[in-house]
Structure 1
Amino acid sequence: MPRPADTRSPGTPFTRVPKPTPSFWITKAVSTAMGEAVSDYSIHVLPPVVAVLCGFVLFVIALIVQLTRGRYSPWSYWLTVGMVAVFGTMAADVMHVALGVPYAVSTTFYALALAAVFLVWWRVEGTLSVHDIVTTRRELFYWAAVIATFAMGTALGDLAAVGLGLGYAASIVVFALVMLVPVLGFRLARWNGVFCFWFAYVVTRPLGASIADALGKPRSAGGLGLGDGPVALVLVLLMAALVVAMYVPSRRGVRTRSLAS
C-alpha cells in the first residue's frame, strides 16, 4: 500500500501522528464509537477477564508496531487508536463493574491521570502540541495521554447516560453541544490551539460512545436494540474504509504533482 505524499521541507523530522484535519476528526469519532461497541460485545462473548487481557495484548502489539514505524502511517496509527478505544473502554468499565467504583469517582480518577500525563509531558518536553511529535519519547507521552482521554471519556459518558440518568439520546445532544465549545473557541475567540485540540479529543470519546450505545443497547435500556455485535461490525468496516481512503490521493493533489513535474 503506498504511503501518503511526503510534504515535509528538506531536513524536517517526520511527524509521527496525523494533523487534526476534518478526516482526522471523523475517523476519531468513528473509532470512539467502534471501541465502545467492540468492548461491550467482547465481554459478552468472552469471559470478562479474558476479554480484557486480549484487549490489552492486542493494544500492546499495535503500539509496538506503531512505535517502530518512525513516522505517521495511517494503518498503524489508526490500528493503535482502535485498540486504545477498545482497551480504554474496558479499563473504565472494569473500575465500575468489577471494582464497584462509582462513575463520578472513576471519571475524576482518569481526569487526574490525564492531568498528570500532561504535567509531566510539559515539564519534560516543553510542548503538548501534536505537531511536535517527532521523537519516540514524545510519542510515548502522546499515547499515554490518548489512553487517559479514552478511559476518562468512557467514564464520563457512562456518568452522564447512566449515573445522572440522562440516557443515550440526551447524552448525545449534551456532548455534541460541549464539542462546540473548543470549536467555536478556536475559530472565533482565538483560544489556544493545543488546549482546544485536547478538549475536543476528550469530548469525542463520550459522544461516540453514546452514539454506539444508543444504536446497540436494547430498547429497555434506552437504545434502538440493533445489538452491540452488528453495530461493532459496521463501525469496524467504516473505520477501515476511512483509513483506506487516506491512501487515495485527491484530484487536487494529483493535478498539483502533474503540473509540477
Structure 2
Amino acid sequence: MKKLPEVTLAFWIMKIAATTLGETAGDLFAQTLGFGYFLTTIALFLIFVATLVVQLRSARYNPFFYWTVILSTSMAGTTMSDFMNRDAGAGYLSNGATSLGWGPQGLGLGYPVGAAALVSLLLAIFFVWRMSGMTFQIRDIVTFRGEALFWLAILASNTLGTSTGDFLSDTSGLGYAGGALLVVGLLAVLVALMKVSVVPNVLLFWIAFVLTRPLGATAGDFLTKPLAKGGLDLGTAGSSAVLLTVLFGLMAYAYIRELRGAKLIAETASPEAGPFLQGTRFRG
C-alpha cells in the first residue's frame, strides 16, 4: 500500500506552506507567548512523536496524517534550530526581554556550527539508510523501517533548513526578501538539472526538500518580523492562523483527489470494467 504522496507541483506548494507555518507557529510559542526554546522544543517534539505514530500505524497514504507530520517536524525543527544556534543575547531577543521561558536559553552554537552538526546528522541518517539496503525513492517506501528512516531524515532536514534560513535572513546581510530570492534561484537550478539527467532525481529531491525549508523560514520571518527589520509585522498569531487555513484547505483538496483516485482504480479493477480497462492506471 502507498504510504507517501506523489511528488508533484502540489506537493511542493504544500511543503512550502507547511514549513512557513512551522516557522511562524514555532516562533509564536517560543517567542511571542514566551515559553522559550527549551520548553517549546520538548513540547513540539512530543507532538511530532504523536503525529508520527498515527502516520506509521496508518495502512495507506492519508494526506491529513502525512502533512500533519510534516507540519510538526517543521515546528519542532524551528525551535530545535533556535535552541541550538541562539542564546539569550540581545541580538536574538526583542522588546527588551532578557530571557525566554524556563530552562536553558539556548546553546549559542551559532549558525555555522549548528548547520555543520545538522549536516553531519543528516548524512549519518542517509548512511544508515543506504546500508540498510532500502530504497530512497519516496514512491517505493512501504515498510515500517523505511518510513521511520524517511521521517528521521525529514526532521533533520527541516531543522537544517531552519538554520540555513535564519542565517540567510539574519546574518548574511541578504535580508528576508534577498534570502528567499536566493533559495528560489537555487530551486530553479534544481528544476533545470532534472531535465538533463546529470544528477540523480533522488538526490535532487532531498536537496530541494532541504532548500524549501529555508524558503519557508525566510517567508515566515518576512511575514512576522517588524517593519524596522524588513518584515511586514503581521505577527506570529495572525500569520499562523492564515497559513493554517491555507494548509488545511490544501490538505482537504489532496484528500478529495486521493478518494477520487482510489475510486477510479476500484472501478477499473471491477469485473464490469471489461478486459480492456482492467489494470489501467489513471492519473489526474
Q: Where do residues 70-149 of structure 1 align in structure 2 (5 Å cutoff)?
A: 70-97=59-86, 98-149=106-157
What are the Cα deviations for residues 168-214 of structure 1, in whole angstroms up to 9, with x where unaligned? 01001100001112211012345311011111111000011111111
In the alignment, which residue of structure 1 is the partner of 2:243?
Answer: 235
Give the distance between the partners of 1:245 and 1:103, measured in 2 at CA. 37
Taking CA–CA contacts closer than 8 Å with sequence separation of 6 or more, which of the two structures ends up with the larger relative contact order? 1
Cα-Cα RMSD: 2.0
Look up the equivalent residue of 2:195 and give its one-letter code: R
Give the distance between the partners of 2:33 and 2:162, measured in 1 at CA. 21
Contact 2:226 2:232 in 1 (8 A): yes
Look up the equivalent residue of 2:24 and give its one-letter code: A
Look up the equivalent residue of 1:25 and give its one-letter code: W
Q: Give the match's secondary structure for 1:82.
A: helix
Q: Where do residues 55-70 of structure 1 align in structure 2 (5 Å cutoff)?
A: 55-70=44-59
Q: Where do residues 149-228 of structure 1 align in structure 2 (5 Å cutoff)?
A: 149-228=157-236
**Considering only CA atoms, is the larger Rg found in Structure 1 or Structure 2?**
2
In the alignment, which residue of structure 2 is the partner of 1:19?
Answer: 6
In the alignment, which residue of structure 1 is the partner of 2:33?
Answer: 45
Give the distance between the partners of 1:128 and 1:254, measured in 2 at CA. 25
Q: Give the match's secondary structure for 1:196.
A: helix
User: How far off its partner does 1:249 sit?
Assistant: 3.7
Larger mean Cα displacement after TM superposition, 237-246 or 120-129: 120-129
In the alignment, which residue of structure 1 is the partner of 2:91?
Answer: none
Give the distance between the partners of 1:130 and 1:54, measured in 2 at CA. 28
Look up the equivalent residue of 2:249 and give its one-letter code: A
Cα distance change on mapping 1:21 and 1:55 into 2, 3 Å: same
Q: Give the match's secondary structure for 2:255.
A: coil
Which consecutive segments of 4 or more residues in structure 1 shift more than 3 A?
Answer: 252-261
Give ranges in structure 1 of 5+ residues lacking alignment.
1-13
Aligned length in residues: 247
User: How far off its partner does 1:57 sit?
Assistant: 1.5
User: How far off its partner does 1:131 sit?
Assistant: 1.9
TM-score, normalising length: structure 1:
0.89
TM-score, normalising length: structure 2:
0.82
User: How far off its partner does 1:50 sit?
Assistant: 2.9
Give the distance between the partners of 1:134 and 1:215, measured in 2 at CA. 37
Q: Give the match's secondary structure for 2:147.
A: helix
